[in-house]
Structure 1
C-alpha cells in the first residue's frame, strides 16, 4: 500500500550526493531501477532524472518491517529513503557518477507501487517506436530521453539569456489568427461566436513580428509554437518550436553576426564545442553546383564535377543528347567504392531513379586494375580516359554520372553523395560543420500553379543589384535570404524584408497576386506599412532540429516530450478523435466523411 511522504523532505537528487557527503544523513526519492537480494543484504539502484545511486539495506539497521519492505520492491516502485552516505564497500563503478559511494538506508517508505512496465526503463534497449509512443510517459523516464529534454531546456534558457543581453524583447504573438494560405496547409479552428468562420493556428509568427518592427520594438524574439498540416519526416512534426527573431535597422551581415555569436555561445556552454567564427558562407548557386543541395553536408569533401564540355560531342548519346536538350552532365567520384558488388550497384541505381534519374551511368575502377563501365562501348578509349582523368578517378574509385536538366542532376547527385558518405562512414555526429547559404533565388516556377511562387515568402527583399531584372527575368533575381545549415540539415532561415511600397507591389505582381488579393490576405500588414516602417530582417531556428543535432539523435521525436507519429496522430492520447454532436452543433458544423474507394 502506498504511503504518505508527510514529514519527509528530499535533501538531494541522486547524483547530487558525492564522496564529500560521506557520513551525512540524506533523504532521497525516486524510482527503483533494480533490486538485488543477497539474503542478509538487499541492494537497490535508485533512479531520478539526475541518474543512479546505490542503496543497501540491513535488517539490524532498518528493522524487520523495513527489511521486508525492501524485499518487496520491484522495478519502477517509487520510494523515499533516509540513510547515511558511505564509501562503497565493493568495487567502484566507474560508469556511475555515484560509483564510489552508497547509502546505508535507515528508513524506507513506498510512495507508489508499479505494475511490470511493457519495456525496461533503460537507455540501451531497443523498443518499437509504436510501443514507446503509446507508453510515452514511461519512455520519458529513460535516461537518454531525459538527457535530451534537459539539453533542450538548457538551450532554451541560454537562448533567452543571450538574446535578452543583446537587447531583444521576448514578446508573444497570437495562436489564433487568420488563414493566409501561402505555403503549407493551415490547421483551422472553427469559431463558435462567428459561425462559419475559422481561425488558423500560426505556421510562423512572420506577419506579427513584422508588425512589431512597425511598432518600434526594434529587437524581438520568441520561442514560438508553430503548426503546419504537412507530411511528416524524421525532422518534421505538425507542431514544432521556433526560436524566432526580428531586428530593425539592419542588413544581412547584422543578422548573421548576432546569430553566429548565439550559436557559438550555445555550443560552448552546452557541449563545450568551439564554433569557429565567422562561419563559412556559400551562395545558393555554389551549393547546388558543388553539392546538389541547398543544405550541403560539409563534414566530407566530395564535390560534384561538371563534365558537360568534355562529353558534349562524345559518342554516348545519353550524355551528348542531354546537353543538346539544354541539360548537363555532372558526376561524383566516390573514393574507395570501386569494388562495390553488383547487388550494391543496383541499390545505388535505384536511389538515382528514386530522385528522378532515368538511369545511372557509372565507371568502377576496381582495385585489381580492371574497369567496369557499361557505356564504354559508346566512347573511344581516349574519351573514356579523359573522362576518368577529369573526374580525378584512381584505382579503387567509383565514378557516377547524371545527365539531365539542372534540378534532376542536383537531386540525384546530392542524394548519391550522402549515400556514399554513409557507405564510407564519413558522417561523424561529433563533427559540427556550419555553413550559411546565401543569395537564394527570389522566386521559383510552379508547374502545378503555372506561376512564380516565393521561395521564402512574399515579403523577402530582392538583392538591390538584381532589381532591374524583376520585370524581364524574374527567375534570375536573387533574394537577400540566408539559411544556416548544420551537417546537412537546415536549422534556421530568414531574410531581409521588403519595406518599400513600390518593391512590394512589384513582388505581388510577379507572384500573380492582385492588389485586391494582397489587401484581402495581408491588408493589416500593408496598412501598417503606410505609417512608417523601418528596414528590418529576421531569422527563425527550428529548435527541435537544432537540439536533435546537438544530442546526436536521428529524429526530432527524441527531443520532443510528446511527439506525433507519421500520420500526425498521438498514440498516447489517441488524438485526433471524434467530438460530441453537441460540440459540432455549437460550432454550426456538419461532418461528412467521404467513402474510401
Structure 2
C-alpha cells in the first residue's frame, strides 16, 4: 500500500506500530546527528525522524529532500520528546526505516504556508500549489460540507434534484450571455444559462412540485470580488405555494446550515419591506449587524438659510454613537471619503454632542443653540455622539450615506466576520424605469408576479406595482433572491408588453413557456442562492475566489491554463465564423 494512515491521524494510541505514510515534504531540519522532516497531506502533518541509529545512506537521502518532494516512508510510531500540542499528531513521530522518493519537486514559486509570500496573481497562476495551503483547502472542505447539508435538508423536504440544459437560447433580459456557436446549425448560437429559470418553471408545469439543483450559471459581466463569469447557484422551485411558504422553507434551510456547520442558532429571520430598507439604510441589502438607521431631517434643518439644506430634495443623517471625540483630521478624512468619485458627494456636515453637553456643528453660522438642540433631539442623541448629515437628490444621497454608514461601522469594529445578521427584504418594486432605453425593466426578471392587490396599477401606474419578490441578505450581502412567478399566459403577456416586447418578440423568445401555461400551470415560486457568496460568508471572506477551486481573475481570465484563448482557423471555418 502507498500508505496505511494519513498524515493527520496518528496518536499515542499507535505507539510501536509500523506504519506507511505518503505525502509532501513540508519542512526539513538537519541538526547534524538527527534530521527531522515534516510530511504533509490534506489531513495534516506528521514529523519524521532520521536519527544517528539510522543507516547512513538513509540519513543522506533524507538530507537531500527538498520542499514539496512527494515521498513514501515506512517506520515505527514513537513518542515525541518535544511535543507540539497545536497539532493532532504532535505527541508522536515516525522513526523512519525506509524512504522512497515518489517524485521530486522544483522549488515552488511561493511558500506553501498559511501565510504565504505569494501575491494573488502568482497564486492564481500556480493554483494547484495554492490549493495545498490550509486556508484554501479548508475553504473547499467547508464548501463541500455546505453542499452536502443543502442536499440533505432539501431531500428531507421532498425536493428532487433535476439537471437542466447548459446549452440553451439567448434571451434579451438580464446580463450579457456567453454564446456558443453551433457547428451543425451554421450562423446559429446556443447561450450558456444565466440561471435555469424557465426550465424550473416548466418542471412545475410537469408536476415536479419541488425541484432543486446545485448548478453552474454564466454571466458575461464586469467582475468584482463577489462575481465570477461562472458561478454556482442553489436553485429551487416549489408549486402550490405562496410567498410565506417559500420564506418558511428556505429560512429553514439557512438556519439548518448555520446550526449544523457553524453551531450557530440564528433564530427567526426578520423581514423588512424594500421601501423601509431604502429609507432607513439607503440599500436593498442593508447590513443590520449594527444599529445606525437614517434620520430624515427636512422638517428640522430646512428653512434656516443654509442653501445646501434648503435646496435639497432630502436632508438625512446618521448618529455615530460615542464618536464626538473624532478629531478635525478624522472628520476631514470622512469628508474626503464621501467626496471620492465612487461615492460622489459634495460634502459632509457634522454636529458634535460633546461629553460636557455642549453642541458644536460645522455650520454654526446658520444654526443657533436652540436649532442645534432640535437637531440633536431628532437623532435622540446623547453626550458623546457625533451626527453626520448629507443632502441632495433622494436616491443619490441615500446611496452616499449608506457608504458612509458602512465606513463608520468598519472604523468602529461593528462589522465582525463572526457575527451573522440575516434579513429578508420583501415587497420589491416590480419594475424600474431606465432613462437610457426609455422603458421599464423588470427589477428581478420578467416572470415575477405582481402583488395581487397591485395588478390594477399595471396599466395606470406601473412604477408603483410591488412584486411578490424577496431577497435574503446576510451582513449586507445578497445571498439569495426569488419570487412567486406568473403562471397565467394572459398576465405574462401583459408583463412582456410593459417591458417593451412586441407580441411577435415575446412569442419568439418565450413562446414555449407561455404555451406551457395553457396546459394547467400550477401557482409556483422559488429562490436561488449564490452558493459561492454563501460559502464566502461562512468562511469570513470578502472575495469568492478562495472558495472556488479554479477561479478567474478580474479580467475573466484563467491565468493558469491561459483561457480564454484563440482557436484555429480550421475550427472557425467549421463554425462558419469569420473574424474581422
TM-score interval for Structure 1 and Structure 2 normalised by the shorter chain:
over 0.9
1:279 alignment partner, one of 249, 256, 269? 269
Q: Give CA-to-partner distance per residue, 1:532-569, whole Å, 9 cap, x none.
A: 10111111111100000101112101111111111111
Match of 2:314 in 1: 328
1:467 aligns with 2:455: yes
Q: Equivalences for 1:188-267 in 2 at 5 Å? A: 188-267=179-258
2:323 alignment partner, one of 329, 337, 358? 337
Distance in 2 separating the partners of 1:151 and 1:245: 21
Q: TM-score, normalised by structure 1?
A: 0.93
Distance in 2 separating the partners of 1:234 and 1:345: 29
Whether contact under 8 Å (2:216, 2:233) holds in the other structure is yes
Q: Give CA-to-partner distance per residue, 1:73-130, whole Å, 9 cap, x none.
A: 111111111222222221x212212122222222111111111111110012353111
Q: Which deviates the most, 418-427 or 339-348?
A: 339-348
Whether contact under 8 Å (2:489, 2:515) holds in the other structure is no
Whether contact under 8 Å (1:31, 1:47) holds in the other structure is yes
Match of 2:305 in 1: 315
SS in 1 for 2:365: helix
Q: Equivalences for 1:382-461 in 2 at 5 Å? A: 382-461=370-449
- 1:367: how far off? 5.6
- 1:342: how far off? 4.0
1:141 alignment partner, one of 132, 146, 149? 132
- 1:133: how far off? 0.8
Match of 1:302 in 2: 292
Match of 1:82 in 2: 74
Whether contact under 8 Å (1:51, 1:143) holds in the other structure is no
2:60 alignment partner, one of 54, 68, 79? 68
Whether contact under 8 Å (2:488, 2:518) holds in the other structure is no
2:42 alignment partner, one of 31, 36, 49? 49
Q: Give CA-to-partner distance per residue, 1:391-415, whole Å, 9 cap, x none.
A: 2334433222222232112201111
Distance in 1 separating the partners of 2:350 and 2:498: 42
Whether contact under 8 Å (2:492, 2:514) holds in the other structure is no
CA-atom RMSD in angstroms: 1.7
Whether contact under 8 Å (2:233, 2:531) holds in the other structure is yes
Whether contact under 8 Å (1:351, 1:415) holds in the other structure is no
- 1:365: how far off? 4.0
1:348 aligns with 2:334: yes
Match of 2:543 in 1: 555
Distance in 1 separating the partners of 2:282 and 2:205: 38
Q: Give CA-to-partner distance per residue, 1:389-445, whole Å, 9 cap, x none.
A: 212334433222222232112201111110001111111111111111111111111
Whether contact under 8 Å (2:111, 2:118) holds in the other structure is no
SS in 1 for 2:26: strand
C-alpha change, 1:287 and 1:162, in structure 2 (3 Å) is same
Matched residue count: 578
Match of 1:5 in 2: none
Q: Give CA-to-partner distance per residue, 1:319-367, whole Å, 9 cap, x none.
A: 1221xxxx22111111233343444434422433332433322224456
Match of 1:107 in 2: 98
Match of 1:40 in 2: 33
Match of 2:526 in 1: 538
Whether contact under 8 Å (2:236, 2:527) holds in the other structure is yes
C-alpha change, 1:432 and 1:462, in structure 2 (3 Å) is same
Whether contact under 8 Å (2:38, 2:45) holds in the other structure is yes
1:582 aligns with 2:575: no
Distance in 1 separating the partners of 2:440 and 2:542: 34
Gaps of 5+ in 1: 1-7, 593-597
Distance in 2 separating the partners of 1:23 and 1:271: 37
Distance in 1 separating the partners of 2:116 and 2:353: 42
Whether contact under 8 Å (1:251, 1:536) holds in the other structure is yes
- 1:379: how far off? 2.6
Match of 1:500 in 2: 488
Distance in 2 separating the partners of 1:351 and 1:590: 49
SS in 2 for 1:377: coil
Distance in 2 separating the partners of 1:86 and 1:112: 27
SS in 2 for 1:378: coil
- 1:591: how far off? 1.9
Distance in 1 separating the partners of 2:155 and 2:496: 35
Whether contact under 8 Å (1:59, 1:66) holds in the other structure is no
C-alpha change, 1:330 and 1:483, in structure 2 (3 Å) is same
1:362 aligns with 2:350: yes
Q: Give CA-to-partner distance per residue, 1:196-246, whole Å, 9 cap, x none.
A: 111111111111111111111111111110111111111111110001111
Distance in 1 separating the partners of 2:192 and 2:215: 12
Distance in 2 separating the partners of 1:73 and 1:369: 70
Whether contact under 8 Å (1:335, 1:397) holds in the other structure is yes
Distance in 2 separating the partners of 1:257 and 1:89: 56
SS in 2 for 1:505: helix
SS in 1 for 2:564: coil
Q: TM-score, normalised by structure 2?
A: 0.96
Match of 1:25 in 2: 18
- 1:59: how far off? 5.0
Distance in 1 separating the partners of 2:336 and 2:567: 45
C-alpha change, 1:346 and 1:199, in structure 2 (3 Å) is farther
C-alpha change, 1:285 and 1:118, in structure 2 (3 Å) is same
Whether contact under 8 Å (1:355, 1:408) holds in the other structure is no
Q: Which deviates the most, 370-379 or 476-485?
A: 370-379
Q: Which deviates the most, 461-470 or 113-122?
A: 461-470
Q: Give CA-to-partner distance per residue, 1:496-535, whole Å, 9 cap, x none.
A: 1011223222222221222212111111111111111011
Distance in 2 separating the partners of 1:264 and 1:83: 47
Whether contact under 8 Å (2:159, 2:212) holds in the other structure is yes
